[in-house]
């Protein structure tokens, strides 16, 4: 790693809210921001806000945001100093980091060597064991046959999880309650892994019941200085993907924070990590922490940490470290300050098994006010594309304590309206009002354990009844007043006919 690198322009190899987040950091630092876009994103906000925008290909990600050579070609033509990958897409692709290195472009993230290790769960686990970082009981490496898998599962104790070494984000994980089920799942998982990655690389892990997902934000510079920026509790999940993140965790005391934080720092050193990353842990009911992996990128939920560390800007910090600067604060300088909660607003229908919901958003109202931050790419008349991730906004609230942050998020959710698509907003409203969430009784099966979806349906019914008078009033107004001056409007003649008939009949019916 060369030190004292000049960065005066950055290409952002991403889209959506995270591209906008990086553009804002660039503007603050006086760095020229270069964005890239696909056919689907010509009207997207990152294209509008960046200093320059370059077209890179068709809508499917493989032909645009995952097209490494095209992105490098743009970077070389424009002559950028660095590339910020955001999260998702190429952010954890060591091949891309290496391509940047070869082309003399600074990759804002870890070195390709470190990423190769963190991307390989088995290799990473072996190194962590050597560094005395506690890991989940299970196989030490990839298992090639079903008998061996059954042996290990027997020793670790059922139930167990079968995981693909190449999976991520909840994909490629299978559950087995007993040996018979394990054998079945092993065959299916092998076939699936071969189809997706060309090789079957499975490992067995003890399934820990009622676990919490707690992670530590890490930062490490080129001079081997490491800091942790405290924890984030991300236990509220759907389909193994995070829905709500917060800091501090309701179960973390200062002593444990220091202890696990020190383990996280040790984990980063073990892989010679560079720049911002996250050490993920599982915590069982007895309070044991098990390291699972290092996410070698800026996380979706990074704003939570920014708000509780008194405003450390993680993107600016990433850029500073990529420039070869030293971390300017000590571990003791960092103080946990208040509480922050983030809700991921996804374009999914929580009433219908989280089915994607896409299309034009004619209007939206983005909340603001004391302690409220919204990172989003939405604006009135934008479009939510089916080609990319369903995250459309992150609503983050800061408060002096959990209760203040929770009430702020709850009120902001009432202000947050997104027309045209279904979102996870109703689900977040239910969770913020829910007793077990309030008392901090969280686990990765929180939604199922407390029947949250059913509660959401009940709440939605109550909410409809609450606004029903207003809806009736609107219909009465619409049929009586608006329609009168509406001849020659843009309505189709059929609709017009139906409406006038409906009105006439309505009148007859009411004896008017």
Partner 1 sequence: MEFKLADQATVLDGELIRTVGRESILIKINGKEHNVRLLKSGTQELEFILDNSFHHAKILNWSSSEIKTLIDGQVLTIKKHSRLTDVLEKSLSLTSFGKGENNLTSQIPGRVVSILPKVGSSIKKGDAIVILESMKMQVAVKAHKDGHIKEIRAKEGSTVARYDVVAVIE
Verify binding: residue 386, partner 1, rule CB under 8 A: yes
Residue 468 Cβ vs partner 1, minimum distance, rounded to whole Å: 6
**Phi and psi at residue 163, to the nearest 5°:** -125, 145
Which one among 155, 328, 355, 451 touches partner 1, defined by CB under 8 A? Answer: 355
Among 257, 297, 344, 408, the active-site one is 297
Q: Which of 210, 242, 252 is nearest to 450 (CA)?
A: 210
Give the contacts of 135 (CB within 8 A, at least 6 positions apart). Answer: 125, 128, 129, 290, 291, 292
Residue 263 Cβ vs partner 1, minimum distance, rounded to whole Å: 32
Verify binding: residue 491, partner 1, rule CB under 8 A: yes
Q: Which of the stretches 22-30, 153-161, 180-188, 478-486 binds partner 1 when contact is defined by CB under 8 A?
A: 478-486
Residue 497 Cβ vs partner 1, minimum distance, rounded to whole Å: 9
The count of other CB atoms within 10 Å of the CB of residue 154 is 13
56, 169, 219, 376: CA torsion to nearest 10: 60
Q: Is-catalytic flag, 297?
A: yes
Verify binding: residue 506, partner 1, rule CB under 8 A: yes
The reply to whether omega before 286 is within 30° of 0 (cis) is no
Which one among 14, 91, 275, 357 touches partner 1, defined by CB under 8 A? Answer: 357
The reply to whether omega before 359 is within 30° of 0 (cis) is no
Integer angstrom CA distances of residue 233 from 32, 98, 280:
35, 32, 10
Alpha-carbon span 413 to 428, nearest angstrom: 8
Alpha-carbon span 368 to 374, nearest angstrom: 8
Six token digits for residue 49 = 């806000």
Verify binding: residue 6, partner 1, rule CB under 8 A: no
Judged by CB under 8 A, the chain residues 446 through 475 that form the site for partner 1 are: 461, 463-465, 467-475
Q: Which is nearer to partner 1, 112 or 385 (CB)?
A: 385
Which one among 104, 157, 359, 369 touches partner 1, defined by CB under 8 A? Answer: 359
Q: Which of 291, 279, 258 is nearest to 128 (CA)?
A: 291
Q: Which is nearer to partner 1, 250 or 420 (CB)?
A: 420
Contact map string, positions 389 to 418, toward partner 1, x by CB under 8 A: xx-------------------------xxx
**How is residue 198 annotated by DSSP?**
S
Residue 366 Cβ vs partner 1, minimum distance, rounded to whole Å: 12
Residue 8 Cβ vs partner 1, minimum distance, rounded to whole Å: 34
What is the separation of C-alpha 440 from the centre of its chain, rounded to a whole number of angstroms? 21
Give the contacts of 229 (CB within 8 A, at least 6 positions apart). Answer: 216, 217, 218, 219, 305, 309, 312, 314, 334
Q: Which is nearer to partner 1, 180 or 504 (CB)?
A: 504
Residue 47 Cβ vs partner 1, minimum distance, rounded to whole Å: 20
Residue numbers at the binding site for partner 1 (CB under 8 A): 347-348, 354-359, 365, 386-390, 416-419, 461, 463-465, 467-478, 480-482, 486, 489-491, 495, 498-499, 501-502, 505-506, 508-510
Catalytically active residues, by annotation: 297
């Amino acid at each position: 790693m060369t030190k004292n690198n000049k960065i005066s322009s950055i290409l952002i190899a991403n889209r959506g809210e995270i591209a906008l987040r990086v553009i804002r950091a660039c503007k603050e630092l006086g760095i020229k921001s270069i964005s890239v876009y696909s056919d689907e994103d010509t009207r997207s906000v990152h294209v509008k806000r960046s200093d320059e925008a370059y077209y890179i290909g068709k809508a499917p990600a493989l032909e645009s945001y995952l097209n490494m050579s095209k992105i490098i070609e743009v970077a070389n033509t424009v002559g950028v100093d660095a590339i910020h990958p955001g999260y998702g897409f190429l952010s954890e692709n060591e091949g891309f980091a290496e391509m940047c290195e070869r082309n003399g472009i600074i990759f804002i993230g870890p070195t390709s060597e470190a990423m190769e290790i963190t991307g390989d769960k088995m290799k990473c686990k072996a190194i962590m064991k050597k560094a005395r970082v506690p890991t989940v009981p299970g196989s030490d490496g990839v298992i090639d046959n079903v008998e061996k898998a059954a042996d290990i599962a027997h020793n670790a104790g059922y139930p167990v999880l079968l995981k693909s070494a190449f999976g991520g984000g909840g994909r490629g994980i299978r559950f087995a309650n007993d040996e018979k089920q394990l054998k079945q799942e092993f065959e299916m998982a092998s076939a699936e892994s071969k189809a997706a990655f060309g090789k079957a690389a499975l490992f067995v892990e003890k399934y820990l019941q009622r676990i919490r997902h707690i992670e530590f934000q890490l930062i490490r510079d080129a001079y081997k200085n490491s800091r942790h920026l405290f924890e984030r509790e991300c236990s509220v999940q759907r389909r193994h993907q995070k829905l709500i993140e917060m800091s501090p965790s309701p179960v973390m005391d200062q002593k444990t924070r220091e202890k696990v934080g020190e383990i996280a720092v040790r984990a980063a050193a073990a892989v010679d990590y560079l720049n911002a990353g996250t050490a993920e842990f599982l915590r069982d009911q007895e309070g044991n922490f098990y390291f699972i992996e290092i996410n070698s990128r800026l996380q979706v939920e990074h704003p939570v940490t920014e708000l509780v560390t008194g405003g450390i800007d993680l993107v600016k910090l990433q850029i500073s470290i990529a420039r070869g600067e030293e971390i300017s604060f000590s571990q003791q300088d960092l103080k946990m300050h208040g509480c922050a909660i983030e809700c991921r607003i996804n374009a999914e229908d929580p009433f219908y098994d989280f089915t994607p919901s896409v299309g034009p958003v004619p209007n939206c109202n983005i909340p603001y006010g004391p302690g409220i931050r919204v990172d989003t790419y939405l604006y009135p008349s934008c479009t939510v594309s089916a080609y990319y991730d369903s995250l459309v906004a992150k609503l983050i609230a800061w408060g002096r304590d959990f209760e203040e942050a929770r009430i702020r998020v709850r009120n902001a959710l009432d202000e947050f309206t997104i027309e045209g698509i279904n979102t996870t907003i109703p689900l977040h409203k239910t969770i913020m009002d829910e007793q077990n969430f309030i008392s901090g009784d969280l686990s990765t099966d929180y939604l199922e354990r407390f029947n949250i979806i059913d509660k959401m349906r009940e709440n939605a019914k109550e909410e409809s009844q609450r606004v029903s008078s207003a809806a009736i009033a609107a219909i009465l107004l619409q049929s009586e007043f608006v329609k009168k001056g509406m001849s020659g409007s843009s309505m189709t003649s059929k609709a017009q006919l139906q409406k006038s008939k409906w009105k006439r009949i309505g009148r007859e019916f009411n004896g008017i």
